[in-house]
Amino acid sequence: MKRALLVLAVASLYVLHQDIWFWRTPRPLVFGVIPIGLFYHGCFSVAASLLMWLLVRHAWPGHLEQEVEGAAREGGEER
Amino acid sequence: MIPAIFVFIYLAAVVYIGIFAFRRSEGVKAEDFFLANRSLGTFVFLFSLFGTNMTAVAILGSSGHAFTNGIVTYGLMASSSGLVIPLTIFLIGTRVWALGKKYGFITPVQIFRDRWECGHIGTVIFAVQAVLLVPYIIIGIMGGGTTLSAISGGFVPYWLGGAVVAMVVMSYVFFGGMRGTAWVNTFQTILFLVFGVIAISVIGAGMGGFRSAAEAIGSSPATSWLLTRERISPYYFFSYTFIPLSAIAFPHILIFCLTAKRMVQFKKTVIFYPLCILLIWLPCVFLGVMANRTAGEIPAIRAKQEARRVLAQQGKTMTPEQREEVREQASGDDVILHLLHHYAPLWLAGILGAGIMAAVMASDSQILALSTMFTEDVFAFYGGRRRFGEGAQVQTGRIFVIVLTVLAYVVALRAPETIFEIAIQYAFSGFAALSPLMIAALFWRGSTKWGALASTVWVALAVTAVAIFQQTTPAPPPGPPAVFWTVGGTEVLARTPSGTSVFGFMPVVPMVLVSALLMFVVSKLTPKPSEATVAKYFS
């Protein structure tokens, strides 16, 4: 279930990149200077970072490191 | 000339870092020279991996593209990269690291050879990777030439600037190997992260704040489109999300993934990667757009806008050569340098110039990667290490660094295209289309060497076809594309002002999809590797 939600979150963010709703409008200018389309994609970068944090927290492939450590231990014992 | 002095001090500093790394090296061991003994900690791993992916495109290319095309640049190249690149590092980079630690792999081709039980097919993959990587190296040298020439106010000519950058990069890669490259990249990343913040503050203050400039650009019908994406098709925008797939297929990125001391080092890298992109690209894109309001004060920018106007109004009546010449005059690759020249005090322009140099000199890890690949995938694979020893292998890698840098410099002197176009059209698209190889190797038991060969040959043919098409079909003037082939009223192939479109998409989309399809279909039809090999990767 957790994995399915994370996949859904990744897919959703990918779809949200195609923001056709701000395609033709420069306004509002956020803080009086940043066009809304640019501000949206700045926020998108922050959202991507949060998504990566979620992936690291809930889907970290820790078994890979354990396998490496196991293999290193076996190698050491053989020697 | 004063800013150029700061840049030369910076160049001396990075050479010193390379020599310092050389002193820390452990003799002539291949793993030490090519992978820094797989010992990079969290901080150096994050910054060097990020720095190695940021080339001249990041600062010069992004601001130049934004100057000409507007805010769309950030959505095209930065925000999609901020999602796709860390995701691929998370999924693929960690697995590659684990395989490297377990089995001692140093290059991606070594993984392919072992995973698919092949020899010469690995050599074919090496050759295609090498050919695609060279343009990326050329970008760095071109960026160096452009930057030094602009920072010195023309005192250092383009050819000399490129030569100096090539020499400096060659020196610290030659001496420091991966350790030197990683340390220099870390230093460079810190510099250009600081660069964005300082540049936007100084230029903003010089322009009297951005509020009136943004308001003026948004209010004028001639420029308001720069703050929107109305001149870019949604298909084209979508196509760009395929380009960041190239990152994890670039050999230098995969090789960097092998340098981490522990897998935990990947955690901060994937989390902070999108934020690092934000910190560098957002200021550069914003400044590139705002540069359009400085034409009244900066003659060089006025000349670029004038060239853009001429291209739009008279482009149709010009010969392709004339159009190319005017296009080059309109190119915005150096707008950020002109902004610094005009608005920053001399000493600060020098420091900021060093920050730009840091970004444009990111070709070091590509040079080292090619050297690593050549010595491991060709020299060692075909018996060189067995016959001549590990010391000879490292020395061969160093000689390769020199030969490659000199060749890249010669090409950089003759290459006519803008930095941005070369990068995107050849290297990025080609590597994106090679990404199904590593994905299949790591995640699909059923993949075979013949599937890998089919994908690789397809990529080579597709990149060649696009290059020939663009060389033989002149780019149309700004506006609608020149349709070359239609089927039943549907546009199949067209030449756009900046490249090629296939069914309205950039070529990278069909290149990636067909590559993945070939991998799947051909693998289904051909014999699998032995059970023992499959179990080694999927048990």
CB-facing half-sphere around the CA of B451: CA atoms within 13 A: 31
Mapping DSSP onto H, E and C, the string for B3-69 reads HHHHHHHHHHHHHHHHHHHHHHCCCCCHHHHHHHHHCECHHHHHHHHHHHHCCHHHHHHHHHHHHHH
Joined together, the tokens standing for residue B54 give 């940021």
**Residue of B323, B308, B333 lying closest to B495 (CA atoms):** B323
In the numeric block, which tokens belong to residue B286? 């914003």
Which residues in A lie closer than 8 A to residue B443 (C-beta atoms)?
none
* Test mutation, B76, B99, B229, chain A, max A CBs within 10 A: B229
CA distance B26 to B37: 9
SS3 B350: helix
Q: Find the CB nearest B237 among A18, A68, A72.
A: A18
Tokens of B435: 């990404």
Q: Who wins on pLDDT, B525 or A77?
A: B525
DSSP letter string over B85-119?
HHHHIIIIIHHHHHHHHHH---SHHHHHHHHHT-S
The tokens for B405 are 């840098």
Q: What distance in Å separates residue B408's CA from the closest CA in chain A?
A: 34
State how far the Cα of A22 lies from the Cα of A38, in Å rounded to an integer. Answer: 9
Contact B273, B50 (CB under 8 A): yes
How many CB pairs below 8 A link A and B? 130
Q: Return the ∠ at Cα B262 (arms to B259 and B266), rounded to 5°.
A: 80
**CA dist B127 to B124, B170, B347, B378, B434, Å?**
5, 22, 45, 10, 13
Q: What is the mean pLDDT of each run of 10 residues along chain B (539 residues)?
A: 80 88 76 86 89 71 89 94 97 96 94 96 94 80 79 83 86 88 88 80 87 90 91 92 94 93 93 93 92 89 91 83 83 84 80 74 82 92 85 86 86 65 70 96 97 97 90 82 89 89 93 98 97 92
Burial of B243 (0-12, 13-18, 19+ CB in 10 A): buried
According to the model, what pLDDT value does residue B467 have? Answer: 84
Rounded Cα distance between B429 and B243, Å, is 6
Spatial CB neighbours of B167, under 8 Å, sequence gap ≥ 6: none
Which residue in B has a C-alpha nearest to residue A56's C-alpha?
B267
Q: How far apart are CA A38 and CA B72, in angstroms?
A: 8
Name the closest residue on chain A to residue B91, using Cα atoms: A61
Signed CA dihedral, B50, B53, B58, B62: sign only: negative
B215/A35 Cβ within 8 A: no
No. of H helices and E strands in chain A?
3, 2
Q: Which of B400, B108, B429 is nearest to B253 (CA)?
A: B108
Judging contacts by C-beta atoms under 8 Å, the chain A residues touching residue B278 are 42, 45-46
Say how far apart CA A73 and CA A52 lie, in whole Å: 31
Q: What is the pLDDT of residue B358?
A: 74
In chain B, what residues touch A16 (CB-CB under 8 Å)? Answer: none
What does the DSSP 8-state code read for residue B505? B
Measure A10 CA to nearest chain B CA, in Å.
Answer: 9
Q: What is the pLDDT of residue A79?
A: 44
Residue of B nearest to A54 (CA): B271
Nearest to B234 among A20, A29, A61 (CB): A20
Nearest CA in chain B to A12: B83
Q: DSSP letters of A30-54?
A: ETTTEEHHHHHHHHHHHHHHHHHHH
Residue B373: CB atoms within 10 Å: 28
- Determine which helix (DSSP H) or strand (DSSP E) holds B484, and give its type and residue range: strand B482-487
Question: For chain A, how big is the Rg over CA atoms in Å?
Answer: 21
A16: distance to nearest CA of chain B, Å?
10
CA–CA min distance B59, chain A (Å): 17
Q: What residues of chain A lie within 8 A of the CB of B277, using their CB?
A: 45
Pull the structure tokens for residue B312.
Answer: 């739009």
CA distance B89 to chain A (A): 10
Q: Which of B471, B467, B493, B495 is nearest to B482 (CA)?
A: B495
Tokens matching residue B328: 């080059």
Calculate how close chain B gets to A5, using CA atoms only, in Å.
15
Select from A41, A60, A63, A69 the residue whose CB has the most chain B CBs within 10 Å, as the one to mutate to test that interface.
A41
**Residue in the block written with tokens 């020439």:** B149
Concatenate the DSSP letters of all residues of B384-398 into one string. HHHHH-HHHHHHHHH
User: On the CB side of B124, how many CA atoms lie within 13 Å of its CA?
Assistant: 19
By Cβ distance, the residue of B80, B275, B286 closest to A17 is B80
B177 residue type, one letter: G
Closest partner residue to B78 among A29, A45, A72, by Cβ?
A45
Chain A positions in Cβ-Cβ contact with residue B83 (cut-off 8 Å): 13-14, 17, 44, 48, 51
Encoded amino acid at B333, one letter:
D
Alpha-carbon distance of B232 to B206, in angstroms, equals 31
* Phi and psi at residue B141, to the nearest 5°: -70, -40
> For residue B189, what are its two tokens?
């990343």
CB B287 within 8 A of CB B203: yes
pLDDT tens for each residue of A22-48 = 899 888 999 999 999 999 999 999 999
The structure's pTM equals 0.91
